[in-house]
Chains A and B, each alone.
Chain A
Amino acid sequence: SAVISQKPSRDICQRGTSLTIQCQVDSQVTMMFWYRQQPGQSLTLIATANQGSEATYESGFVIDKFPISRPNLTFSTLTVSNMSPEDSSIYLCSVEISPEGGSGIYSYEQYFGPGTRLTVT
């Protein structure tokens, strides 16, 4: 696995402002992902962030609202822009790692950071 940290762990923000969430991993990984978990719900993928290329966004998520940076193989940021109360959620980054003894792309596993709990007032 890997040690993944996120900053901030939680924040309370005002409507209309923006928050940048950082995700740091202790080893180099090719693929990083950003998910959202709304209260009482499961996880929904926001975007996939590969180093050296533009992030790939899922349906319903757009770059202007959720810009992502991936400057190197151990770090990524997600910005939640022009926030509204509907953006109140837990935001999680994950990294993809090939387990020991694993072979091929089917064996990759995803590990999650501790999450950022965002409340928009």
Chain B
Amino acid sequence: QKEVEQNSGPLSVPEGAIASLNCTYSDRGSQSFFWYRQYSGKSPELIMSIYSNGDKEDGRFTAQLNKASQYVSLLIRDSQPSDSATYLCAVVMDTGRRALTFGSGTRLQVQP
């Protein structure tokens, strides 16, 4: 079974710190990787996508991908209380179908 694994948390960080969220996936052939943020009672919001090994930065967010280790991470710099949410890692494991397989999500709490 193709899987995406995340630590469920909660991950608690103080305001201004760096939050590090991690995700592993089982299908070595996966090509597309995404991070979604989901506030309670809301639908997932796409915050980062990454397709190549290395880092991709967008504002306070950095996604990191290591296909050899089947590992993708999200760093949030200068964490704010408004970043408190569940972060979902999602992977396209079948390029033909292009459907997302989601991890269970990591709940992030940023303490003011």
Contact = CB atoms under 8 A, between A and B. Distances in A.
A105 B43 contact: no
A106 B43 contact: no
Interface of B: 31-32, 34, 36, 42-46, 49, 51, 88, 90, 92, 95, 97-105
B79 to A, nearest CB: 22
Interface string A16-54: 000000000000000101000000011111001000000
Nearest to A56: B97
Interface string A101-116: 0000111111111110
A87 interface: no
A45 B100 contact: yes
Given A106-B51, A109-B49, A92 B99 contact: no
A114 B32 contact: no
B103 A42 contact: yes
B95 A42 contact: no
B46 A111 contact: yes
Which 7 A-B pairs give the minimum distances between C-beta atoms? A112-B43, A42-B102, A106-B31, A115-B43, A43-B102, A42-B104, A45-B99
B32 A43 contact: no
Contacts of A41: 104
A113 B43 contact: yes
Nearest to B6: A42
Given A42-B104, A107-B51, A96 B32 contact: no
Interface string A74-88: 000000000000000
Contacts of A108: 32, 98
Contacts of B105: 42
Given A41-B104, A45-B99, A48-B97, A110 B34 contact: yes
B32 A106 contact: yes
Given A42-B104, A106-B32, A108-B32, A114 B98 contact: no
